[in-house]
């Protein structure tokens, strides 16, 4: 048993090493997103050498048999036979070994590989979560919660003290007064919570390729943040010229033909924070993705909302400019010019293609905020 556990531990170390070695590939291709379960992801590890049995000589040939002379080399027994048909010319398809990894393990590998600092939550743990903890005993309760050991001991004690117990016939029969039941106490557990607001431009110039980049990057951002906080609330906002809050599926699968007004998304995000996610209770993270082709006259309004309402409320505001078939727009440059270095919670990243996702994640999460 111990050997198996040791082997399993060693196997998991090898798997983690392989995943770490190929993390950039996994991040870039996003192939594990579709394999995400509730708490586990299934990862194909093609390069892993799986131990396997090999056929031996099975006793053929050997020493001390036959008519050999002294000093004659010993060869394999049997006569080699001619095979049928030529050797194959195509490479083998290879075997993909799928290993399951918890999201926490995946986040740990991501953190180690990208050298991400652990996040220091802002402010106090203001949210109190109530939990039922089964840590007491009562005389009444449902039979499903009966504490058998305590009930038995109590019955035994009673039988011994009343002289009913017979060591030669050690039957212990609990009566109603002996029965003990597990019970719970409600405890208040202070919890540091985080909320993530994703905003995406779904205007006509954003293609499916750009959305796939956003989806891949969001998966890794989610994985890391979820490993850093006990509870994560995720909200999604899409916009073209107007913005609205949507569910996750709509977020990734909507395409509109409207113009691009980034201020509309900022407005909805600011309302969401004001009405549902007060910064005093939540560590807030905003991730916005666009191709940067904002309609020129909208920039000032966007900067006003960002500077006055969003940046003072959030731990991080990350803007990822995803390059569209028409190149990257000017919004990132305008943001840089407008806000400069004065807000260290504002992080900007240009994502030219899938290969750039890895560095972008590192850039976004590298501050440990």
Partner 1 sequence: MNLHTALDRQLVNLESTGQAGLATALDGPRRLTCELADLNALAVSLHRLELATTELATADAARLERIGQSLAARLTYLMEPIRPIEIDAVACTVQLRSNPPQRDDDGRTYYELLVRRGGSISLTRFRKQNQNVRQQVTATITREVLLRLVADLESALD
Residue environment code for 149-179, b if the CB has 16+ CB neighbours within 10 A, otherwise e = eebeebbeebbeeeeebeeeeeebebeeebb
Please tell me whether residue 320 binds partner 1 under the rule CB under 8 A.
no
* Cα four-point dihedral sign 99, 360, 206, 232: positive
Q: Is 62 in the site for partner 1 (CB under 8 A)?
A: no
If one asks whether residue 244 binds partner 1 (CB under 8 A), the answer comes out as: no
- Minimum CB separation from partner 1 for residue 348, in Å? 14
Q: Does 291 bind partner 1 (CB under 8 A)?
A: no
301 lines the binding site for partner 1 (CB under 8 A):
no
> Which of 58, 89, 144, 257 contacts partner 1 by CB under 8 A?
257
Query: Does 330 sit near partner 1 (CB under 8 A)?
Result: yes
From candidates 8, 325, 344, 355, binder to partner 1 by CB under 8 A: 325
- Per CB under 8 A, contacts with partner 1 among 222-241 are 240-241
Nearest CA to 121 out of 19, 170, 178, 190 is that of 190
* Residues 6 or more apart whose Cβ sits within 8 Å of residue 175: 155, 158
Does 297 interact with partner 1 (rule: CB under 8 A)?
yes
Interaction between residue 141 and partner 1 (CB under 8 A) = no
Tokens at 175, concatenated: 């009566």
In 10 A of CB 331, how many CB atoms? 24
Q: Which of 328, 345, 349, 360 binds partner 1 (CB under 8 A)?
A: 328
Q: Does 208 bind partner 1 (CB under 8 A)?
A: no
215, 261, 267, 363: residue in contact with partner 1 (rule CB under 8 A): 261
Question: Residues 3-37, buried b or exposed e (16+ Cβ, 10 A)?
Answer: eeeeeeeeeeeebbebbeebbeebbbebebeeeee
Contact positions vs partner 1 (CB under 8 A): 203-205, 240-242, 257-261, 295, 297, 325-330, 333
């Amino acid at each position: 048993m111990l050997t198996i556990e040791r082997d399993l531990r060693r196997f998991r170390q090898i798997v983690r090493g392989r995943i770490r070695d190929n993390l950039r590939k996994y991040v870039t291709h996003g192939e594990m997103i579709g394999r995400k379960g509730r708490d586990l992801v299934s990862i194909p590890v093609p390069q892993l050498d799986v131990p396997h049995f090999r056929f031996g000589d099975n006793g053929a040939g050997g020493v001390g048999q036959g008519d050999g002379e002294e000093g004659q080399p010993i060869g394999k027994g049997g006569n080699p036979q001619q095979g049928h048909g030529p050797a194959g010319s195509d490479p083998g398809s290879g075997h993909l070994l799928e290993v399951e990894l918890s999201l926490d393990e995946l986040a740990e590998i991501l953190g180690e590989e990208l050298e991400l600092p652990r996040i220091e939550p802002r402010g106090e743990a203001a949210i109190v979560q109530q939990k039922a903890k089964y840590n007491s005993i009562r005389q009444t309760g449902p039979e499903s919660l009966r504490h058998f050991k305590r009930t038995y001991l109590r019955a035994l004690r009673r039988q011994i003290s009343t002289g009913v117990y017979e060591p030669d016939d050690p039957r212990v029969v609990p009566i109603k007064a002996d029965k003990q039941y597990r019970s719970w106490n409600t405890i208040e557990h202070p919890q540091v919570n985080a909320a993530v607001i994703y905003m995406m431009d779904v205007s006509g110039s954003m293609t499916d390729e750009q959305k796939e980049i956003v989806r891949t990057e969001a998966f890794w951002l989610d994985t890391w943040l979820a490993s850093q906080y006990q509870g994560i609330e995720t909200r999604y906002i899409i916009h073209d010229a107007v913005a609205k809050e949507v569910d996750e599926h709509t977020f990734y699968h909507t395409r509109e033909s409207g113009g691009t007004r980034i201020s509309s998304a900022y407005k909805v995000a600011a309302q969401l924070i004001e009405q549902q996610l007060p910064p005093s209770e939540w560590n807030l993270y905003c991730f916005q993705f666009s191709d940067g082709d904002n309609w020129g006259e909208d920039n000032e309004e966007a900067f006003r909302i960002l500077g006055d309402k969003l940046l003072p409320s959030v731990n991080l505001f990350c803007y990822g400019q995803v390059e569209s078939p028409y190149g990257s727009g000017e919004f990132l440059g305008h943001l840089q010019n407008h806000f400069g270095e004065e807000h260290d919670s504002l992080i900007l990243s240009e994502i030219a293609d899938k290969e750039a996702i890895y560095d972008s994640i590192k850039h976004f999460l590298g501050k440990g905020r």
